[in-house]
Amino acid sequence: MAVWKMSGLSDSERAECAKILKLMSKGDVLSLSDTVTNKLIVVEHVKEAAETILSFTKNAEEFLRRKKVYRELIFKYLAKEGVAMPPNSEKHQLVKRTLELWSSRKVVPAETDKTRQRPSTETACDSTKVEAGFDPLVLGQQFCQWFFQLLNSQNPSLGQQPQDWGPQHFWQDAKLCLLSRTGSEQMDEFLGAELVNLRLLALTRDERLVLSPNLDTQGLKVLTSPHGLVLVAVAGTIHRDEACLGVFEQIFGLIRSPLENNSWKIKFVNLKIRGQDALGGTEVAAPSLSYNSTELQLLCS
């Protein structure tokens, strides 16, 4: 069936709205298609219904405010996109944050599936050369978006197609230091790309956790060393389904690999997890880093 396209959605907005539609049940998608077209167009299957919805939607805000686009759907979508939001956020707050996210992407070159596989220097900044305008903060933001989307996609409860996770994103001598404070304190270390990647993978694939980073100024710091090491420190919240289980702070050491198109690979990871009991039961809307610049600078030296 040919659909007359009166959509006011941009191509990028259509793509993001389509992601949300894929999170919806078949019945809700068909029902929303009837609502949007006032039952003037009869659709036969979900794919056709989704295309009709996108074609007859005037703008992104109208789509997000539809009753069938539930608060929980938008929350799950934002988590997949690496955006931290309090679990008790109201729908209008989630709509506003989603529109801000989409608006910010209009001025940033859209990622392709190929560039999303690994943040090359072209993805992370405008040039492979430091003197051509290298911006460490931009690298840090885009690395975090890439890393957490990749890691969270391994969580089967999100219903996503798992992306290309594996030891190839780490240096062979990579190291993971994991400090967990959930009732009791436990420290574990993992050496080598294979062990590091498997332990991080277990967080999402086996433990069904979703790590949602706070990429605001209080939740993200990026430092560089004269030797080429880039330190990315980020704080965020940890979720399972609709429950917020605690917060995390994660520090990455990134070094370029000249043998792999000068792309960034992970040299070390320090991950600190605190459960709700370790937080005294208080809710944390947008966690901030507890590390100061001096402490981070020591890791760069």
| Structural domains for the chain | 11-104 (no CATH), 120-300 (3.10.450.50)
pLDDT of 173 strictly over 50: yes
Q: Single out the residue of 95, 86, 77, 104 nearest to residue 22, CA to CA.
A: 77
The residue that leads in pLDDT, 181 or 165, is 165
What is residue 26's predicted lDDT score, i.e. its pLDDT? 92
pTM, two decimal places: 0.56
pLDDT of 170 strictly over 90: yes
Band (105; pLDDT cuts 50, 70, 90): low
Structure confidence by residue, pLDDT tens digits, 44-71: 889 889 988 988 888 899 999 999 999 9
